[in-house]
Amino acid sequence: MKKWTPKRRKLTSLFHAPTTKGIIMAASIAYVGGHLQYGVNFCMGQSYKQAIWVPSVTFNGCLQRELSWSCGVSKFLQIRKCNLFRSRTNENWKSFGTVITSAYLRDGSTKYFDFAVIGSGVAGLRYALEVAKHGSVAIITKAEPHESNTNYAQGGVSAVLCPSDSVESHMQDTIVAGAYLCDEESVKVVCTEGPDRIRELIAMGASFDHGDDGNLHLAREGGHSHHRIVHAADMTGREIERALLEAVVNDPNISVFKHHFAIDLLTSQDGSDTVCHGIDALNTETQEVVRFISKVTLLASGGAGHIYPSTTNPLVATGDGMAMAHRAQAVISNMEFVQFHPTALADEGLPIKPKKTRENSFLITEAVRGDGGILYNLSMERFMPLYDGRAELAPRDVVARSIDDQLKKRNEKYVLLDISHKPREKILSHFPNIANECLQHGLDITQQPIPVVPAAHYMCGGVRAGLQGETNVHGLYVAGEVACTGLHGANRLASNSLLEALVFARRAVQPSINYMKSSSLDLSASSLWTRPLVPKSLGSDVMHKILRITKEVRKELQSIMWKYVGIVRSTSRLQEAEQKIGKLEAKWETYLFEHGWQQTMVALEACEMRNLFCCAKLVVSSALARNESRGLHYMTDFPHLEESKRLPTVIFPSSHTTGTWSSRQLHQQPIVKSMV
């Protein structure tokens, strides 16, 4: 096994790109006092209408500590013509302390909280429970509170809880799986603090499986060298979600706003700094826009699996948080690394087909292979040893590519995962949810192999976060799948996602409390931003047409992403995807605005489409930037891993006062002169 040794480089704090059409571009990053600080400066020359991608911009060195992995820019800064707001944030905003929920309402459309949490998965709930000890908390969630990626996580949570295991071993497994692109500090923090986070869950009432010896039953999954997966049968996420939600419901300082779709972050400019003041959300039950003004905002909104047609993610995973953060000038990183779970249930191979197409693929947990499951093609030939010495226990990127290769070579639609050679009682006790789902469709997994196929599963990239969940936007923190902490590198190790969410949600607590205590709210602040409009004025006929077209466009975008930006990629196909997505987005937006749509109008389907376009473009742009094959990103024209390219892909802030609807906020950032 290759020994990983981190390479430390000194940071070049400022770099300049060549002047293009009169535009002088410069960007800087600094690590100051434990916080990320980014700046982008523009000196505008003559008019420039198109986005510029500046290639091959690299640092001579590397940011220290939290930013140690962000020591270069694989490709680009996105620059658009802009007028940056030059203003100052008044430090003497009217004080607004913690009060009971009923006092937050100045009117039905504006609410004031100390903390706003977007998302109700493990990251958002765990964070909310801690900060609620210090102030009022709003949890804004898109559907029902339990409807999150956490709830669908089957396998478990990885943590070093066995005497024969070690933090160093967990770190090494994580770094190897991540193709040596992981941040050493992030990996160390998560692997070291993980066991305590598990113990906290148990203390809160989460019930995990135990062995005959009375100790926690620890499973093993692909990429792990030890048994370290804490689980609750094959419904671990559901059990964690249950325990956390129960605690949240019983906390008087937390208010949960279900069926509230987050539209855009509310931001202002303080000189060159962007400051977050809360969010706008659409109540999808009443069709009213609600404005949440908060001192601190945590993004814990999950991933973007629905940029692809087949995903294990629930319907809510449309990349809303990543898109909102990008529009709000947050730094985005490593979006090319999309993890395809190798084993989602292939409905076509079931004896009894589902009556209707699933909204999301049913996951067959990694733990099935960890427990001895074997992969066969339809001729019952075991194929994984042909691709990797670790066979079925290879990391997910290897297994997914191997299955993809088998399907293409043999012109077949699925492969088979067989666990039937194991004792029936063990199968049913470890995988009751999977056994029940398959049995409903005429398949007994204790006797027959399971038909499986890869499906989009997890975004390893996202909003760039420091070791305390901080972003370059002041007052905005991130945790969970929406964040890019550097832990996963180029490929997430199995069962590290729930662990990362728990650790970083907890680490974001103290800096959030400190920021909250040093901030204050102005009760008149709500009027600073243009109010989004619900398009009632367009009439039902026009809205019906818009929704029909949007549904068709969504399917077309997903098809493009699967065909051109899937498990195996090439430069020419990525470029084709970029062109097709650009044309599709322009066509969709033209249709909307020709039918009376306005810049500030909002509807759930249209806003989700807006976010899907934004995330798809981020993935394609990042993929084009990486001219090597590393982890989840495999390029047929660059099939080898290049040590010189062991750098993250970084998308720096840019102004979006021009460009597509998906690329800019619905409102302009206000000039904050005085809020006394």
For 472, residues 6+ apart whose C-beta sits below 8 A from its C-beta are 36, 37, 38, 274, 329, 330, 331, 464, 653
Sign of CA dihedral 280, 87, 32, 79: positive
Q: What tokens appear for 391 in the block?
A: 């066979």
Pairing mode, if any, of strands 374-376 and 450-459? unpaired
Q: Which of 330, 353, 346 is nearest to 273 (CA)?
A: 330
Interatomic CA distance for residues 629 and 637, integer angstroms: 9
Q: What tokens appear for 22 in the block?
A: 């009169």
Please provide the DSSP assignment of 283-317 as one string. ETTTTEEEEEEEEEEEE-----GGGSSSBSS-TT-
Amino acid code (one letter) for 423: P
Q: Which of 297, 204, 281 is nearest to 250 (CA)?
A: 204
Amino acid code (one letter) for 176: V
Which of 238, 327, 396, 492 is catalytic? The answer is 396
Contact by Cβ (8 Å): 339, 307: no
Interatomic CA distance for residues 663 and 673, integer angstroms: 26
Three-state secondary structure of 212-278: CCCCECEECCCCCCCCCEECCCCCHHHHHHHHHHHHHHCCCCEEEECCEEEEEEEEEEECCEEEEEE
Catalytic annotation on 9? no
Interatomic CA distance for residues 412 and 415, integer angstroms: 8
Interatomic CA distance for residues 327 and 322, integer angstroms: 9
Alpha-carbon distances of 574 from 582, 629, 648, rounded to whole Å: 12, 14, 19
Contact by Cβ (8 Å): 662, 613: yes
Tokens 């995988």 appear where? Answer: 431
- Burial class of 250 by CB neighbour count within 10 A (0 to 12, 13 to 18, 19+): exposed
Contact by Cβ (8 Å): 305, 311: yes
Contact by Cβ (8 Å): 611, 323: yes
Phi/psi of residue 540, nearest 5 degrees? -70, -35
Catalytic residues: 396
